[in-house]
Amino acid sequence: MRYTRLLTRKKTPLWVLIVVALFAIAQYAGWIPDNNTKQPAQTISESQPGLYRIDHFVDGDTIAITMNGKKETIRMIGVDTPETHKPNTPVQCYGPAAAAYTKNLIGTKKIRLESDPKSTNRDRYDRLLRYVYTDDGKLVQKELIANGYGFAYTQFPFTKSVEFVQAQQQAKDAAKGLWGNCAPYQQDNGRWQTNNAS
């Protein structure tokens, strides 16, 4: 008799069956995500918090976004592109090219913003000072400098200054962009400029 009982399989407790059934129903109804179904990378990226859509492009180093229902102008930390819209200042050599490069680099996708502990939150024009990253992780400022569309703006402290100066030197040595087309010059304060566009 005892031997027969050992050979007989024990029945699964009723509460275990109920839990398994509830789990299956919840997964079928969509209350529990199916780990085998993966969202496209773009959908995940677009839904992440901290990403902002461009409201409009101002010039090569300045953009406008909507943040918490309010329009904010973002001045990119550590880069200075030739002027296109500055009051009482003519359009400078490579200004329109830099503005077009920024617009093409970002496109219609969302961007990620990052502050810098060495920088102030806003400049004297009340613009937010931020690093700007594209949706695929490119740092817009570094791309501008490395490809000869802007200068490393070292008149104010920021953590990526050495990295940006190195990118500028490489672009200068290779005569990329404005370095090969605009004969940039350095002012007494160390700030690089280009001449007026012809």
Q: Which sequence positions are flagged as catalytic?
A: 75, 83, 127
Question: What tokens appear for 145 in the block?
Answer: 């400098």
Instruction: Write the burial class of residue 189 (CB in 10 Å: 0-12 exposed, 13-18 middle, 19+ buried).
Output: exposed
Distance between CA atoms of 88 and 67, rounded to whole angstroms?
A: 30
Distance between CA atoms of 92 and 194, rounded to whole angstroms?
A: 6
Q: Is the distance from CB of 165 to CB of 113 less than 8 angstroms?
A: no
Q: Which residues contact 155 (CB under 8 A, 6 or more apart)?
A: 189, 190, 191
Q: Which residues contact 29 (CB under 8 A, 6 or more apart)?
A: none
Alpha carbon dihedral 9, 13, 14, 17, in 10-degree steps, equals: -80
Distance between CA atoms of 47 and 76, rounded to whole angstroms?
A: 24
